[in-house]
Structure 1
Amino acid sequence: MTYGDAEFGFELLACRWAELAWPPDERRDSAVFVSRQLGTQKRRWDTIVVECDPEGFAARAQFGEDALDSDLLHVVRNAPAEWTYYRDALPHPGYPWRYVREAIHRAAARGVVEKRKQGNRIEIRRVAPYPDWVRRIVAIENKPDLDASAARALSAQLEHDVETALADEVWVATAATGASVEPALLEDLPVDVGILTLDFSRGVVADAADVVWHPSTLDVASDSDAFDADEKADRRLEIAERAYGKGWRSFHETMRPDCRGFELRREGRALVPWCATKECGQTAAQCSGSCAEFSPEPPQWRTGGWPIEGGPGKGIKQLLEGRREWVRERETE
């Protein structure tokens, strides 16, 4: 198959495989949600797999499909069962209370807490207890062609991941070569990092992966050089929330599905972006309004009755967003 830009296309296929078949070589007993291009200010991972408590994951759905940022989490997680003045209900956030009031207004507008005014005081009440829904976070770096130079470039980043231990496990996913000893095993990677080889010659199928090196389980509950244990727990939850809100199909937000050449091509059980004009896979950098081949959909496509609102580009967005919702619903059943 053709990946277009190898790393981007491989990343999308790896995300779809993880959605189907994570964890590798084990029976799934957690709800699983996959996202891409997430992390902290200093580190961004290609793929994030969030393993969730199924009941907790279902309870998380009560707070809507969008992510809760750190300010909203402060309000939602500490909101009381009975009406209480917000300063009595919430621990001091470490920043001015006016920002907390802004977060309360945002939370109430989204329906994730209730608020009322009693005299000059704002009182809040929870709509439901915020669940303990995240079991584990797995970080995956995708390098389809893991040669010596790519391994050297990755090594420092992976060492950082192991030392900070924000993720429970860290993996490198690379394209299978079929060699008796996979080249990735011979590269200088940290021993705590797992190595996964993926064969997408048949597209994305559940048995496309082989584990050639198992990772260590990192100590996410203890202090590290970068974070103390409490700060680490908060960061992990924020990452999980962003993953929940974003998913991995959000590539349409940085590409141009409204171009008449934009298509989705099936690769096994995955749908990936394809440029019919150039006859190749594409990336967000290539698929933009500045592309010399960009050709916007004609107006009649957008009013011709399919889909009911918008043209094919709108339909592609609805399809990808619908699939993200389907995965959420499937994992709560």
Structure 2
Amino acid sequence: MTYPGDAEFGFELVTCRWAEDAWPPDRDTDAVPVVARQLGTQRRRWDTVVVEAAPDALDARAAFGERPLDSDLLHVVRNAPAEWAWYRDALPDPGYPWRYVRAAVHRADARGVVETRHRGNRIEIRRVAPYPDWVRRIVAIENKPDLDASAARALADQLDHDVRTALADEVWVATATTDATVEPALLEDLPVEAGVLALDFSGAPAATVAWHPATLDPTAETSMAADQKADKRLEIAERAYGSGWRSYVETMRSDCRWFELRDRAGAFVPWCAAKSCHQTAAACSGSCPDFQPEPPGWRTRGWPIDGGPGKGIERLLADRRRRRR
């Protein structure tokens, strides 16, 4: 077995960790990969997302904090003027009531991503820094370690949707490598525009490009208008910047006494000591029959009291996420 556990979840985590160090696999670039998981649109969610960022512009993005900027905040931050101006004069008409923009201005001020002041009954705004054009490309990856015929049929429709909408610049399928002369994924009926990546995590992580993807055109008019796609791409990139891929711990019970992390191919992958397996995010919940809260004594080691091993795991993953930015 070349990936941890029997589910796609473990394969997805080690794929994300590999992408942080080795993306892209088929060309040279100075772009910095910002890797996240389970992002997309209301209709389509990708397993792994790689945002290829311009290095200097990515550094400039840090001026707006670690948390992502949603669409309302982006409308304010990207259009905030260099000099003080009434927000309704400075910002483009949003197409919805201005009271919602005013609420976004207050949120932006609270986050420290714009400055505000009152002149009479008017709120004036000024930018703290120009919002950088930090996103070069967005790559979508579907993780299918065991790509059989039935999984390929279901995946083909999703990939075809990705190709037709061209929201991402490239679409890939990542699968576990086999000993076959021809990777089985190449024998399935997948769109020819989708690349195929064979990954081997049995030792040092290794990747083989079995099929090169076509470069899609996000500026083309498809089922989504080009300007709509540009806004959606930036929203996805912001969410990737804010969440990364290590945020999986936020939906798992790290406060369970059996919750541990194991190093697999350079990635910290959850391990359930009660079941002696790499558990999935869905299985690791308060309804699990083996769930046991950490003993109170575990949470009082050291001063100040800042939680037990579970909180330590969360801090470790959050620190790794900050360092990778």
Give the TM-score category using the shorter length: over 0.9
Matched residue SS, 1:280? coil
C-alpha separation in 2, matches of 1:126 and 1:154? 44
Matching residue of 2:192: 191
Q: Which runs of 5+ in 1 are unaligned?
A: 329-333
Q: Percent identity?
A: 73
Q: 2:211 aligned with 1:213, yes or no?
A: yes
Matching residue of 2:180: 179
Deviation of 1:4 after TM superposition, in Å, equals: 2.5
Deviation of 1:26 after TM superposition, in Å, equals: 2.7
Kept in 2: contact 1:5–1:283 (CA 8 A): no
Deviation of 1:306 after TM superposition, in Å, equals: 7.7
Kept in 1: contact 2:256–2:291 (CA 8 A): yes
Q: 2:217 aligned with 1:233, yes or no?
A: no
Matching residue of 1:291: 288
2:24 maps to amino acid: P
Matching residue of 1:263: 260
The number of residue pairs the alignment matches comes to 324
Deviation of 1:3 after TM superposition, in Å, equals: 2.6
Kept in 2: contact 1:68–1:242 (CA 8 A): yes
Runs of 4+ in structure 1 deviating by more than 3 angstroms, as ranges, are: none
C-alpha separation in 2, matches of 1:243 and 1:299? 35
Q: Closer, same or farther in 2 for the Cα pair 1:152/1:307, shift >3 Å?
A: farther
Deviation of 1:112 after TM superposition, in Å, equals: 0.1
Alignment of 1:94-173 (within 5 A): 94-173=95-174
2:138 maps to amino acid: I
Q: Which runs of 5+ in 2 are unaligned?
A: none
TM-score relative to the length of structure 1: 0.95
Which residue, out of 282, 288, 308, partners 2:279? Answer: 282
Kept in 1: contact 2:194–2:212 (CA 8 A): yes
Deviation of 1:20 after TM superposition, in Å, equals: 1.0
Matching residue of 1:331: none
Deviation of 1:184 after TM superposition, in Å, equals: 0.5
TM-score relative to the length of structure 2: 0.98
2:49 maps to amino acid: I
Matched residue SS, 2:156? helix
Q: 2:45 aligned with 1:44, yes or no?
A: yes
Deviation of 1:304 after TM superposition, in Å, equals: 1.1
Deviation of 1:221 after TM superposition, in Å, equals: 1.1
Of 20-29 and 236-245, more deviation after overlay is shown by: 20-29
Deviation of 1:283 after TM superposition, in Å, equals: 1.0
CA RMSD of aligned residues (A): 1.2
1:215 maps to amino acid: P
